């Protein structure tokens, strides 16, 4: 069985130190269905078999979202497949996972969701310095005409780039 390719990048954080980032899963459909406004990085409360399954790339973010329960954020409908070498105590694939953020980040996130009618959508899951992180974006749903307009703009940009490339030859 072919192994799923993962991106390995070395990014630098605010202090200038290099950070090892390994992409596990990306929610590309979110960029198509939603207008992504604000992004924040969060940790997750996971079981050991979930981390091992994530290292194997068995994560799917399709149809997943972030919900607020009693002042805490939870990642719902994110599918982490059961670990192949797990025992009878393997995890449930679609269980709710608590997100770890600072209090002021949670408060800001909750107020924006409640006041503006936005939704929390996970955009990527990745390992950063050995810890599994999830990137959450505040999103507003696109309407059909918005999707068409963004597709048209993307096509125009592609055509312009292609013309410039041919002129520079």
Beta bridge partners of 150: none
Q: How is the chain split among helix, strand and coil, in percent rounded to 5? A: 30, 40, 30
* Full-model pTM: 0.71
Q: What is the pLDDT of residue 17?
A: 65
Q: Nearest to residue 64, comparing CAs of 74, 50, 52, 55? A: 74
* CA–CA distance, 55 with 101 (Å, rounded to integer): 22
Q: Contact at 8 Å (CB) between 96 and 75?
A: yes
Which ranges of the chain does DSSP label H, i.e. alpha helix?
28-33, 48-55, 103-116, 144-167
Q: 46-68: per-residue pLDDT in tens?
A: 887 888 888 888 888 888 888 88
Which ranges of 38-89 does DSSP label H, i.e. alpha helix?
48-55
Q: What average pLDDT is seen over the chain?
A: 82
CATH second-level architecture of 8-142? Beta Barrel (2.40)
Q: Nearest to residue 131, comparing CAs of 29, 50, 31? A: 50
**Domain residues of the chain, as ranges?**
8-142
Residue-level pLDDT, tens digit, the chain, 169 residues? 444 555 556 565 666 667 788 888 888 888 877 888 888 999 998 887 888 888 888 888 888 888 888 888 999 988 888 877 766 777 777 888 899 999 999 988 888 888 777 888 999 999 988 888 999 998 888 777 777 888 888 889 999 999 888 888 7
Element (H, E) at 17: none
Q: Report the sign of the C-alpha dihedral through residues 49, 50, 56, 62, in that order.
A: positive
């Amino acid at each position: 069985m072919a192994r799923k390719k993962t991106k390995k990048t070395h990014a630098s954080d605010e202090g200038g130190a290099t950070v090892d980032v390994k992409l596990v899963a990306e929610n590309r459909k979110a960029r198509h269905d939603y207008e992504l406004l604000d992004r924040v990085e969060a940790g997750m409360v996971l079981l050991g078999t979930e981390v091992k399954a994530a290292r194997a790339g068995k994560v799917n973010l399709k149809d997943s979202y972030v919900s607020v329960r009693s002042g805490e954020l939870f990642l719902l409908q994110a599918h982490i497949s059961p670990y192949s070498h797990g025992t009878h105590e393997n995890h449930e694939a679609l269980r709710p996972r608590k997100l770890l953020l600072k209090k002021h980040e949670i408060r800001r996130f909750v107020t924006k969701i409640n006041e503006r009618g936005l939704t929390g959508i996970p955009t990527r899951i990745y390992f950063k310095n050995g810890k599994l992180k999830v990137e959450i974006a505040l999103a507003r749903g696109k309407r059909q005409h918005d999707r068409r307009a963004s597709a048209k703009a993307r096509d125009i940009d592609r055509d312009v780039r292609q013309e410039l490339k041919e002129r520079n030859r």
